[in-house]
Amino acid sequence: MKKILQQLSEGKSLSIGEMKEAVKLMFLDETTESEIAALLMALKLKGETVEEITGLVEALRENALVFEDQIPGLIDNCGTGGDGSKSFNISTTSAFVLAGAGLKVAKHGNRSITSRSGSADVLEYLGVSLKMSATEVKNTIEEVGIAFLFAPHVHPMMKKIMNVRRSLNIPTIFNLIGPLTNPLQLETQVLGIYREDLLEPFAEVLRNLGRKRAVVLYGAGGVDEATLIGENHYVLLNDGVITKHTISPEDVGLEPASKEKIVGGDAKENASILKNVLSGQEGPHLDTVLLNAGIGLFASGTVTTIQEGVHEARKSIHSGKAYEKLVELVKISVKKEVI
């Protein structure tokens, strides 16, 4: 660790292999929390590179819950958080719309960071299990079309690092990489981020991780989801090629709305919003989910345009299939009556 810290202190970046070695050292009992804090701060002050982020993510995935058999054709839609928008659970709600449209969704997430209710909080309130085994996750995706992977459960080695992050109490590389660390091998992905400058670097990381297609998204108003506020910026990764684009609500037939219209609440309130959207209740909540689910369908390659994706997302909701996926996930995860 001393050698790595010296290298970083001199402003020299780490290769993918060196970063993976640094992570292995972080997990050793003899490595102190002070050394881990020094590593995180050195990376932050120098500025993390694509190779360092890739190495970190690969090492974390190698030390995660083991899935013996991978599932083909998976998608995840997840944001980094950290945007301070206090929005309702947009990507979680959108995940059920994607599943209702026929995609296989491996939804990776955590408890709240900047909102009052993270994906884990709202799903737990609804009755979804946060501690499925690898076999249960695989079976649930195959039977229902969607499963939830709770980050602390699938990344048990992270407990020591979480203590350091709490003591530092400032954003580090770990505040950005959550959506990258899904232990299942994804074919496609929608990754929301609250920093526009990281759109292309994160697309490069996803390319390194083997994604066939992906959308990295910076929402209007600085949100890590697409919003109805105005122009959303995104990059598309398609067969190794990265291109920059923008999308506004008017482009897909949706009405603009302010950031205040997507503010959520605690787990109970957000669960109510989620179920209202999946039931087809009109308004900015529904339109925001339609936009994000439309982007998800576009990222998957199921549709050729986001506008077509919004149309298919609406069909998923109005047919009742999206809500049905929620009901099925609750039933299979906790084996109780339909909610």
108 is in an annotated binding site: yes
Block residue for tokens 């299979």:
332
92 is in an annotated binding site: yes
Residues 192, 225: contact at Cβ < 8 Å? yes
213 is in an annotated binding site: no
If 0-12 CB within 10 Å is exposed, 13-18 middle and 19+ buried, where does residue 329 land? Answer: buried
91 is in an annotated binding site: yes
280 is in an annotated binding site: no
233 is in an annotated binding site: no
Helices (H), the chain: 2-9, 16-27, 33-46, 50-62, 90-100, 119-126, 134-144, 151-154, 159-168, 199-208, 267-278, 284-300, 306-318, 321-334
112 is in an annotated binding site: yes
85 is in an annotated binding site: no
Q: Which of 141, 144, 143, 174 is nearest to 157 (CA)?
A: 174
197 is in an annotated binding site: no
Q: Which of 306, 330, 279, 303 is nearest to 97 (CA)?
A: 279
115 is in an annotated binding site: yes
Block residue for tokens 């506008």:
307
Name, in order, each residue with C-beta under 8 angstroms of 242's C-beta and a sequence gap of 6 or more.
200, 203, 204, 207, 235, 236
Task: Look up residue 123 and give its two tokens.
Answer: 């799903």
Q: Which of 107, 55, 105, 57 is nearest to 79 (CA)?
A: 107
Task: Look up residue 242 and give its two tokens.
Answer: 């990265």
107 is in an annotated binding site: yes
Residues 141, 329: contact at Cβ < 8 Å? no
68 is in an annotated binding site: no
225 is in an annotated binding site: yes
What is the number of other CB atoms lying within 10 angstroms of the CB of residue 197? 8
207 is in an annotated binding site: no
Q: What angle is formed at CA 295 by the lines to CA 273 and CA 203, rounded to 5 degrees?
A: 120
117 is in an annotated binding site: no
Sheet containing strand 241-247, strands side by side: 146-150, 104-109, 74-79, 188-192, 213-218, 232-238, 241-247
- Return binding residues: 79, 82-83, 87, 89-92, 107-115, 119, 165, 224-225
- Return binding residues for Mg(2+): 91, 224-225
- Return binding residues for anthranilate: 79, 110, 165
- Return binding residues for 5-phospho-alpha-D-ribose 1-diphosphate: 79, 82-83, 87, 89-92, 107-115, 119
